[in-house]
Structure 1
Amino acid sequence: MEQPRQPAGRPDGGQYGALPPRPEADLDFRAAAPAAWPALTFEDVDWRLSPELEGVVPAYQVARLEARPYQSAVPARIADLDPLVALPATSIEAVSAAAVEISAFDREASALPVPMPTVLLRTESASSSQIEHLTANSRNLAVAALGETAGQNAELVADNASAMTRALDSDGPVTRDQILEIHRVLMERSDPDIAGQFRREPVWIGSPNLSPHGADFIAPRWERIDVCVDDLAAFAARTDVNGLVQAAIVHAQFETIHPFADGNGRTGRAIVHTLLRDAGYTQHATVPISSGLLGDVDGYFRALSAYRDGDPAPIVDTFAASTLRAVANGRTLAAQTSSIHEQWKARIKARSDSGAWRLADHLFAQPVVNSTHVARFLGSSPQGAFNAINTLVEAGVLTQSSRDRRNQLWQAKDVLDVMDEFAARAQRRVR
């Protein structure tokens, strides 16, 4: 769960070699027993009112709060822990089944006649954003992706898609610099002052607005972030951990560290896809795991809490179950988009190598277009763009959705409908 700004192995499970030495941390972590996963410990931190609130909050209230320290989380060092020791056999079995489905779905998506990887990435970014109550329908998201005005939520979701793209473009395991870059892309438009920078202020999850006292979870003090992120990256670089287990634990540890003032949830779920790609589970497409999490958001948050209490099994189980739900939903979407493609074949009266057909295939990735976008995509003149658009309008593939002469928009309603249906299926609660 993201915290709004506050005022103050591999698939075969093989062993690939020893970890490189890691420098000692500047700050202490709790030592863990070899066969256990460590719970958080806590430290007292003095509270000081944020300077911008001085003179706004009554002096008596300030004195009362500053007289009481709050308890901030201290994450354990995880780089050298053995996660499999702390997992029951049922979790390992669930992960194995999910891993098979991820790899199979990745192959299936790459073989489709439509740009399914882009479709899936957009659905994943929308689902991840929706976990944070940022909702946008498929049309508004497509309009925002054009750079047109479509509402703040749609712009935030479009930025999340860009951040996920950056995460998938990263080579190798997750690093500190990659995390900062993903966050920069995510937040640069909405909050440039914090984009790509670790926080230097306390953050917490829960209802208090003025101070962290009484919050549900208070993230580590900002002075610990560098050490915690370095430890996280060391765990992410291991090659002797099952890839899905590794992704679930890295995600839970990242959300526990909460290194940013805002955007932690969306950044943390983007990192999952970097890990799955690096582990070899996905090579072509994005498995929309966030759409699986949407079916039981409360369970997802409970699993994160259990992880902080020293039990990693619930978050691993949650990722395995969410993967299966996401793959099932993704296969339905793939079948629907393939069916649309087949229907268009009978309706589009143009050569298969024409600009009209190139545009038709592109509509699955960008289902709302304007003439400028089409001309740029086709590498054609403005007239060539209008010719391709008119061919698809005559075929009933495109309909004009904006009659503003200065910025006419056309949409592929068939594609938008199935993407909205995907989102509706993802929201159905798990029974």
Structure 2
Amino acid sequence: MRSFVDLDGLVGRVPFDVVGDLRVIDTGRGSEALYRDKLPALLTSLAQRARVASIEASSAIEGIVVESRERADVILSGEPVTLRDRSEQELAGYRAALDYLYQGDWRPLNMGLVLHLHRLLFSFTDVPGGGFKTSENVVVDRLPDGTHVKRFTPVSAAKTPAFVDELVARYSAATREDRHHPVLLVGLFALDLLTIHPFLDGNGRITRALTNALLEDSGYEVTRYVSLESSIAASADRYYDALQGSTTAWHDGDHDPWPWLRYFVHVVRGTYDEFQRATDTARAAGSKKERVQLYVRDHAPASFRMADIRAALPGVSDATIRNALDVLRAEGVVNVDGTGRNAAWNRVGSQL
């Protein structure tokens, strides 16, 4: 909320390095519609991977890790399953919150949405979700020697509902006015929500989920195809350092947003870089990938392995074969049993 009181004063002059990252982001945004038309199967495959990566990475940042790949896959599929422990419950909760936003019917942004996402996040646990904190909390970092240091003091429990309500109102007004870059506004919203820290638990995950939704709502859909949470998890130290740099004097409205915004914008730019690499690779390998897809559709046995494709199509890399198989699986043409090179691929509907 504090970041939106004087937007012109805080972000009226954008540093040159941030301008450069924003240019890359806007160029990438312009290519999204093109790839939706030309590479729909690839985008479907990327979206499926990004969903899984986002749920796992955002949970892992908070120390929530499921014991095996197989268990995580079952939980993230949404199929009915008995959840064995708190980590599995919270992984399922973040899946529910993120999927709710991905469905696209979450608008408008309001305090009720924030509370609903928190309710979903803890819907599989015994912890009551969907309510703001009722006691005070302090955000601390645990140092390697085991000591703790206070990172910042959040807004008091008594003031939290009013601060969240005002943050939503000010962010919505700023987006309507369209005077500042949308990615900067989303970054400031995330900074303020993290600093308000409206819940006793789940603040980071709720903020990261909303960040995806607000970027997409502003026309930046890349987080559907490349996991923003994975990028944050891979740069966790810089994430916390940037927050530390921008929360100082936040309560007085005299904070410096640029440590956080530099980090945030650069991470968003990185997702577009990764998206571009994926689409470039797909286009470059298009003819070979099409050969793989044609072979699988018309010539491969009903059940086959990657080695069969290698033998039939010499010169096609394993990466291209895997990419083609992922696309065919996303289209429902094939399914797979097992993992790795010995996985058995089956054409859907074929008689074995």
With the length of structure 1 as denominator, give the TM-score of the two structures: 0.58
Identify the match of residue 346 of structure 1 among 278, 284, 295: 295
| 1:10-409 alignment runs, 5 A limit | 76=2, 78-79=4-5, 81-82=7-8, 83-85=10-12, 87-105=14-32, 107-108=34-35, 111-114=39-42, 115=44, 116-136=46-66, 139-145=70-76, 146-149=79-82, 152=85, 153-168=87-102, 169-172=104-107, 174-193=109-128, 195-206=129-140, 215-237=150-172, 238-239=174-175, 240=178, 241-282=180-221, 285-309=224-248, 310-330=255-275, 343=292, 345-348=294-297, 363-364=329-330, 392=334, 397-399=335-337
Q: Does the 8 A contact of 2:41 with 2:330 survive in 1?
A: no
Structure index of larger Rg: 1
CA distance in 2, matches of 1:205, 1:341: 52
CA distance in 2, matches of 1:117, 1:183: 23
Residue 347 of structure 2 corresponds to none
Which structure's residues are more often helix, by fraction? 2
Q: Which residue identity is paired with 1:104? A: S
Q: Does the 8 A contact of 1:106 with 1:286 survive in 2?
A: no
CA distance in 1, matches of 2:98, 2:224: 12
1:93-138 per-position Cα deviation (integer Å, ceiling 9, x unaligned)? 3223223324535753673315233332222222222222323465
CA distance in 1, matches of 2:198, 2:65: 24
CA distance in 1, matches of 2:190, 2:291: 39
CA distance in 2, matches of 1:299, 1:79: 26
Q: Does the 8 A contact of 2:90 with 2:125 survive in 1?
A: yes
CA distance in 1, matches of 2:106, 2:270: 27
Task: Decide whether aligned partners of structure 1 residues 188 and 363 sit closer, same or farther in structure 2, where only a CA change above 3 A counts.
Answer: farther
CA RMSD of aligned residues (A): 3.7
Give the CA deviation at 1:349.
5.7
Give the CA deviation at 1:345.
4.8
For structure 1, which segment, 125-134 or 144-153, has the greater mean C-alpha deviation from structure 2 after superposition?
A: 144-153
Q: Does the 8 A contact of 2:109 with 2:168 survive in 1?
A: yes
Task: Decide whether aligned partners of structure 1 residues 313 and 214 sit closer, same or farther in structure 2, where only a CA change above 3 A counts.
Answer: closer
Q: Which runs of 5+ in 1 are unaligned?
A: 1-74, 351-358, 366-387, 400-410, 417-431
Give the CA deviation at 1:316.
1.4
Task: Decide whether aligned partners of structure 1 residues 81 and 222 sit closer, same or farther in structure 2, where only a CA change above 3 A counts.
Answer: same
Aligned length: 290
CA distance in 2, matches of 1:120, 1:165: 12
CA distance in 2, matches of 1:202, 1:342: 61
Q: Does the 8 A contact of 1:141 with 1:158 survive in 2?
A: no
Secondary structure in 2 matching 1:148:
coil
Q: Does the 8 A contact of 2:29 with 2:222 survive in 1?
A: no
Q: Which residue identity is paired with 2:194? A: E
CA distance in 2, matches of 1:149, 1:362: 30
Q: Does the 8 A contact of 1:290 with 1:322 survive in 2?
A: no
Give the CA deviation at 1:78.
2.4
Q: Does the 8 A contact of 1:288 with 1:327 survive in 2?
A: no
Task: Decide whether aligned partners of structure 1 residues 166 and 255 sit closer, same or farther in structure 2, where only a CA change above 3 A counts.
Answer: same
Task: Decide whether aligned partners of structure 1 residues 283 and 291 sit closer, same or farther in structure 2, where only a CA change above 3 A counts.
Answer: closer
CA distance in 1, matches of 2:182, 2:93: 27
CA distance in 2, matches of 1:207, 1:233: 28
Q: Which runs of 5+ in 2 are unaligned?
A: 143-147, 249-254, 300-324, 344-352
Give the CA deviation at 1:192.
3.9
Secondary structure in 1 matching 2:165:
helix
1:121-157 per-position Cα deviation (integer Å, ceiling 9, x unaligned)? 2222222222223234654322113233575435433
1:173-228 per-position Cα deviation (integer Å, ceiling 9, x unaligned)? 521111111111111112441x11111111222269xxxx9633232210011111
Q: Does the 8 A contact of 2:25 with 2:268 survive in 1?
A: yes
For structure 1, which segment, 324-333 or 268-277, has the greater mean C-alpha deviation from structure 2 after superposition?
A: 324-333
Secondary structure in 2 matching 1:280:
coil
CA distance in 1, matches of 2:3, 2:187: 16
